[in-house]
Amino acid sequence: MADVKLEARENSQKALTFTILAADIEKAYSQKLNKYANDMTFKGFRKGKAPLSFVEHQIGEYVREEVTYDMIDECFSEKIKSLDFADQPLAYARPVIENEESLKPFKKDQDITCTIRYDVFPEVKLGQYTGLSLEVLNSSISDKDIDDEIESLREQNANILTKEGKSEKGDIITIDYCELDENSAPVESTRRNDFTFTIGSSYNQYKIDDDVTGLAVGDEKTITKTYGEDESDSSLRGRTVNLSVKVTKLKERVLPEVDDDFAQDVKEEYKTVADLREGIRKNLAQQMETTEKDEKFMTLFKELKKSCTFTLPESMKDFAIRTEVRNYMRQMGRSAQEIDDMLDRKDPTALYVQAMVSQGAISSLEQQVIIHAIQQQGVIKPSDEDLEKAYEGQIRDDMDEETKERAKKEIRDDLEFSKVPDWLLENNTFTKTGDKLGYKEYMDAFYKKLYEPEEKSEEAPVEEKN
């Protein structure tokens, strides 16, 4: 192999150009042709007895093409071993021979010069990533948050009892119902018996929560309702319906009193209501602290992304999205092979999941690329104690020294990478602004912020070139 040249291309790609000498090709061609001549049986000849000239006439063009492609693969594989990480192809990317057809047909005694283009890990031009002042939501645990949590616990521990008297919002009602035609005769196809729902939940087709409020067991009622053209249920849209209803059962939720016994029922270690409230406060505070940390990093990442310049190669994006689709669909009982087949044939379910997870997958990938770039700046210096702990169980005595050093480097890189997010939070400033939000309000605001569309700009520094 001679005349090796490496070039940078657009869209996080590199191109490796090299020449395979004709003498090397002819030597490999001769060896392969002789092997086929010895191993194959040709019509009119016993196995291995066909003249070499005859064999070459029959399959020479095929053998030359096979040998040439094998040598291209071998030379490419050998050369990339010596390249730095930034110049190596991504493991899941598929290298492409540029202008491949112009190389054919492969001719005898002719050097082959080819260029192989492939995707590499993106080169990132970092902007400012320390000393930033950023605003986050203002959050605090309030007594109302604790009251709401206790009310939720009461609901979870409610006793369901048969109710005497008239129904109210929150009661569990069971009814028989049937639509009536214009002559007040039952439309049997719409009849349903023992249908149960909670009044006020709207978990019923005809939305008759208010209409059945005040009814007792045994009561019958004809309800007339008119549905607009905007009704979500197409079978009711634009119709006026007469519905015959009979109440067959009525139950109510009886919530437990908030006392020391209730506190102990929730958790044995709680001896009093005060213990319960303090336990709830601590749990909510821990959950909020975790979410606040996530919010800080999310806010910081959006700011970092604005000042960074890099291009995600298509193979990297495709791999990240496909991985997320696999993770999601495995929860549906699908195998990795089945999921890949569904994606390849553009199955509607797989495409729906792909559309659903794509934005999150790309965002996560961008975070990893930026974190990796910051890691490469040498900002994280693990202690010897941290490294020794990380090596435990990973570095074995039966490894040779080269394998050990390679494993240690990988472990060190992983450890450094994992510490970058916390380092970034420590080296930037976050100020709580706006109205103080309780637990539920804060969580709602956080998830709204998490899923809000990112601002798009033609001058956005993170380029996505086709």
CATH code at position 241? 3.10.50.40
User: Does 462 score more than 60 pLDDT?
Assistant: no
Q: Which residue has the tokens 């079978």?
A: 235
User: Does 3 score more than 80 pLDDT?
Assistant: no
223 and 326 fall within a common domain: no
C-alpha to C-alpha distances, 287 to 99, 234, 442, nearest whole angstrom: 57, 42, 11
Looking at residue 33, which CATH number applies to its domain?
3.30.70.1050
214 and 341 fall within a common domain: no
297 and 444 fall within a common domain: yes
24 and 114 fall within a common domain: yes
Is-cis flag, bond preceding 105, omega within 30?
yes
298 and 249 fall within a common domain: no
Q: Does residue 171 lie in a domain region?
A: yes
Domain of residue 429, residue span: 288-451
The residues, ordered by sequence, that sit 6+ positions from 15 with a Cβ below 8 Å of its Cβ are 6, 7, 8, 9, 98, 115, 116, 117, 118
- Amino acid letter at 59? I
Give the HSE-up count for residue 229: Cα atoms under 13 Å, Cβ half-sphere: 0
311 and 372 fall within a common domain: yes
91 and 30 fall within a common domain: yes
Evaluate whether 135 touches 292 at the Cβ level (below 8 Å): no
Average pLDDT, the chain: 92
DSSP 153: H
Among 119, 148, 168, give the residue marking a domain's end.
119
User: Does 456 score more than 60 pLDDT?
Assistant: no
Among 254, 273, 300, give the residue marking a domain's end.
254
310 and 403 fall within a common domain: yes
54 and 203 fall within a common domain: no
Number of domains in the chain: 3
DSSP string, 71-111: HHHHHHHHHHTTS-GGGSBPTT---EETTGGGGPSP-TT--
465: its two tokens: 């070139």
Mean per-residue pLDDT for 222-240? 94
Sheet holding 2-9, edge to edge: 2-9, 13-20, 112-119, 96-97
3-state helix, strand, coil in the chain (%, to 5): 45, 20, 35
107 and 163 fall within a common domain: no
3-state secondary structure of 197: strand
Separation of alpha carbons 461 and 305, rounded Å: 8
**pLDDT tens sequence across 266-311:** 999 999 999 999 999 999 999 999 999 999 999 999 999 999 999 9
Evaluate whether 175 touches 212 at the Cβ level (below 8 Å): yes
311 and 396 fall within a common domain: yes
177 and 317 fall within a common domain: no
Separation of alpha carbons 60 and 210, rounded Å: 86
Q: Does residue 464 lie in a domain region?
A: no
Among 119, 145, 172, give the residue marking a domain's end.
119
User: Does 466 score more than 50 pLDDT?
Assistant: no
**pLDDT tens sequence across 135-154:** 999 999 999 999 999 999 99
Q: Does residue 461 lie in a domain region?
A: no
Mean per-residue pLDDT for 419-438? 96
- pLDDT the model gives residue 150: 96
